[in-house]
């Protein structure tokens, strides 16, 4: 294989890299959020340091020398080349091969009639009748906790929904979607802000339709085009393929379709990168011109429509599974108190206070719904919220980690 310059000076693409244990050995698992290849790469932990030098500044020989200088252990260039070849074969390097694979994958995605559900058969049943029975069971369980009646469909209506898997969060989903049922059934446009778990782009769009086991939910391409014009085409669609595997939009779309008795409705599906750029640069989303322009565009496009705005986001992610110390009762109490404060601010329709609470503790609880919740509150404007469900869900088998989820309904 003839190597291009970027492979001679190998540079990793933006990847999801996580610790992994297999057969008693420690590895790092390298996964591609854009799924250009079906293959993932396992890198033995002792060699993982090479990944830090895979930044386009060194040759494979230079990487071997850097490893030797850092750790005092000689490493053959051949071994480095084997690793680089494996990365290249899986399209994990930023070079001509991965660029061509990206272009081909994007073309296939856009040519398909709809985005195929990526977690059907895992997080929820792929069969529509089994799915219907499953979600109805969650609705019965939610009503068993406290009888729920749908709230009035007001001119301004939104909701916070979890996006955790249904077996852990199904009852909380039911608690919030049951209260939103009337507005959801009457809506002719649904705007969904979903957490982009694997990308940092502020907004990532697609013109592709979303499918659920019940059928297809058409994307409002005219509105998507208006937002893309604000962002710029390249920025708007640079990470479009992350829509293929991102569950945050898919799981709420399933509940939306279910509460509408399988009737379609137009969607504006938007993936939102985190707010870490503001945490670290001293900025604030209240003063971000791009956010203002996107929200103004969505408001203008909503005029004369019956719109529901959905924030797809979970709350805290804490404990060993998220690179922290094991949870104890005291730490969990702190997490619950912080969640209660965030929910109060959401219910008060206070996006600035909500963001400040996250920023004040450096987002140490890893709230993955920050951007979708903030953007939903900003888009809705002056609203009042009603909390609708809360749960603490296990995140490992050793009771050392949890994810918290909750729901809120906003009316104005």
Residue 7: per-residue pLDDT: 56
Q: Rounded CA gap, 318 and 255, in Å?
A: 26
Q: Rounded CA gap, 316 and 403, in Å?
A: 5
Q: Is the pLDDT of residue 1 over 50?
A: no
Structural domain total, the chain: 2
- Which of 5-9, 128-132, 230-234, 247-251 is predicted least confidently? 5-9
What number of residues does the chain have?
Answer: 412
Domain final position from 107, 125, 159: 107
Q: Rounded CA gap, 54 and 67, in Å?
A: 12
Give yes or no: residues 103 and 121 share one domain: no
Give yes or no: residues 122 and 226 share one domain: yes
Beta bridge pairs of residue 191: 268, 309
Q: Is the pLDDT of residue 317 over 50?
A: yes
Give yes or no: residues 375 and 329 share one domain: yes
Q: Rounded CA gap, 137 and 115, in Å?
A: 27
Residue 148: per-residue pLDDT: 83
Q: Rounded CA gap, 376 and 312, in Å?
A: 10
Domain final position from 86, 107, 128: 107
Q: Rounded CA gap, 359 and 356, in Å?
A: 5
Give yes or no: residues 102 and 132 share one domain: no
Residue 5: per-residue pLDDT: 44
Q: Is the pLDDT of residue 8 over 80?
A: no
Convert the pLDDT of each residue in 165-207 to its tens digit.
999 999 999 999 999 999 999 999 999 999 999 999 999 999 9
Give yes or no: residues 274 and 344 share one domain: yes
From 206, 160, 217, select the one nearest 354 (Cα to Cα): 160
Convert the pLDDT of each residue in 371-397 to its tens digit.
999 999 999 998 999 999 999 999 999
Q: Is the pLDDT of residue 65 over 50?
A: yes
Residue 147: per-residue pLDDT: 72
Which two structure tokens, joined as six digits, stand for 91? 């399209």
Q: Is the pLDDT of residue 2 over 90?
A: no
Report if residue 77 sits inside a domain: yes
Angle, vertex CA 165, rays to CA 161 and CA 168, nearest 5: 95
Q: Which CATH number do you get for residue 11?
A: 3.90.930
pLDDT-derived band at 282 (thresholds 50, 70, 90) equals confident
| Element (DSSP H or E) covering residue 167 | helix 166-179
Report if residue 112 sits inside a domain: no
Give yes or no: residues 372 and 290 share one domain: yes
Q: Is the pLDDT of residue 4 over 70?
A: no
Taking residues 72-94, what's their average pLDDT?
A: 93
Residue 281: per-residue pLDDT: 78
Residue 40: per-residue pLDDT: 84
Give yes or no: residues 13 and 77 share one domain: yes
pLDDT-derived band at 216 (thresholds 50, 70, 90) equals very high
Q: Is the pLDDT of residue 345 over 60?
A: yes
What values do phi and psi take at 216, rounded to 5?
A: -110, 140
Give yes or no: residues 89 and 231 share one domain: no
Report if residue 317 sits inside a domain: yes
Residue 6: per-residue pLDDT: 47
Report if residue 254 sits inside a domain: yes
Convert the pLDDT of each residue in 85-136 to its tens digit.
999 999 999 999 999 999 999 999 999 999 999 999 999 999 999 999 999 9
Q: Rounded CA gap, 213 and 91, in Å?
A: 31
Report if residue 356 sits inside a domain: yes
Q: Tell me the CA end-to-end span of the chain in Å, nearest whole number.
A: 61
Give yes or no: residues 86 and 123 share one domain: no
Q: How many CB atoms lie within 10 A of CB 19?
A: 11
As a dihedral over the C-alpha atoms of residue 274, residue 356, residue 342, residue 402, rounded to 10 degrees, the angle is 50
Q: Rounded CA gap, 381 and 351, in Å?
A: 9
Q: Is the pLDDT of residue 3 over 50?
A: no
**DSSP conformation class of 321:** G
Domain final position from 84, 107, 130: 107
Convert the pLDDT of each residue in 140-157 to its tens digit.
999 887 778 899 999 999
Taking residues 216-245, what's their average pLDDT?
A: 97
Structural domain boundaries, residue 62? 5-107
Taking residues 10-18, what's their average pLDDT?
A: 92
Give yes or no: residues 297 and 387 share one domain: yes
Report if residue 183 sits inside a domain: yes
From 113, 263, 294, select the one nearest 188 (Cα to Cα): 263
Give yes or no: residues 16 and 154 share one domain: no
From 155, 156, 288, 296, select the one nearest 226 (Cα to Cα): 296
What is the model's pTM?
0.91
Q: Rounded CA gap, 248 and 264, in Å?
A: 19
CA 89 to chain centre: 27
Residue 73: per-residue pLDDT: 87
Q: Which CATH number do you get for residue 155?
A: 3.40.830.10
Q: Is the pLDDT of residue 361 over 80?
A: yes
Give yes or no: residues 124 and 55 share one domain: no
What mean pLDDT is reported for the chain?
94
Which two structure tokens, joined as six digits, stand for 323? 């690179």
């Amino acid at each position: 294989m003839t190597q291009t310059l970027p492979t001679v000076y190998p540079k990793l693409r933006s990847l999801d890299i996580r610790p992994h244990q297999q057969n008693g050995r420690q590895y790092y698992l390298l996964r591609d959020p854009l799924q250009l290849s079906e293959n993932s790469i396992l890198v033995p932990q002792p060699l993982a340091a090479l990944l830090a030098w895979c930044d386009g500044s060194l040759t494979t020989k230079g990487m071997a020398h850097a490893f030797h200088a850092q750790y005092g252990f000689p490493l053959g260039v051949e071994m480095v080349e084997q690793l680089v070849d494996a990365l290249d074969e899986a399209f994990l390097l930023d070079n001509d091969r991965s660029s061509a694979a990206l272009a081909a994958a994007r073309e296939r995605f856009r040519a398909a009639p709809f985005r195929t559900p990526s977690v059907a058969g895992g997080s929820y049943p792929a069969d529509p009748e089994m799915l219907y029975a499953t979600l109805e069971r969650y609705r019965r369980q939610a009503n068993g906790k406290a009888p729920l009646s749908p709230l009035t469909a007001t001119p301004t209506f939104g909701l916070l929904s979890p996006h955790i898997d249904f077996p852990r969060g199904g009852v909380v989903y039911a608690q919030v979607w049951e209260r939103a049922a009337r507005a959801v059934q009457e809506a002719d446009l649904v705007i969904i802000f979903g957490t982009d778990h694997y990308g940092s782009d502020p907004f990532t769009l697609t013109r592709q339709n979303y499918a659920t086991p019940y059928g297809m939910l058409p994307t409002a391409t005219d509105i998507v085009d208006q937002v893309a014009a604000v962002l710029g085409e390249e920025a708007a669609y640079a990470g479009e393929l992350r829509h293929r595997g991102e569950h945050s939009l898919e799981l709420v779309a399933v509940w939306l379709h279910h509460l509408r008795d399988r009737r379609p409705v137009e969607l504006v599906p938007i993936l939102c990168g985190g707010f870490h750029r503001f945490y670290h640069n001293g900025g604030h989303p209240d003063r971000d011109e791009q956010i203002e322009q996107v929200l103004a565009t969505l408001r203008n496009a909503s005029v004369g429509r019956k719109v529901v705005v959905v924030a797809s986001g979970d709350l805290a992610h804490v404990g060993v599974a998220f690179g922290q110390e094991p949870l104890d009762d005291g730490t969990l109490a702190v997490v619950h108190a912080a969640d209660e404060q965030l929910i109060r601010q959401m219910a008060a329709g206070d996006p600035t206070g909500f963001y400040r609470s996250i920023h004040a503790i450096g987002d140490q609880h890893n709230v993955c719904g920050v951007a979708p919740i903030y953007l939903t509150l900003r888009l809705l404007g002056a609203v009042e919220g009603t909390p609708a469900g809360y749960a603490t869900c296990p995140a490992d088998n050793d009771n050392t980690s949890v994810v918290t989820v909750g729901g809120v309904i906003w009316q104005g």
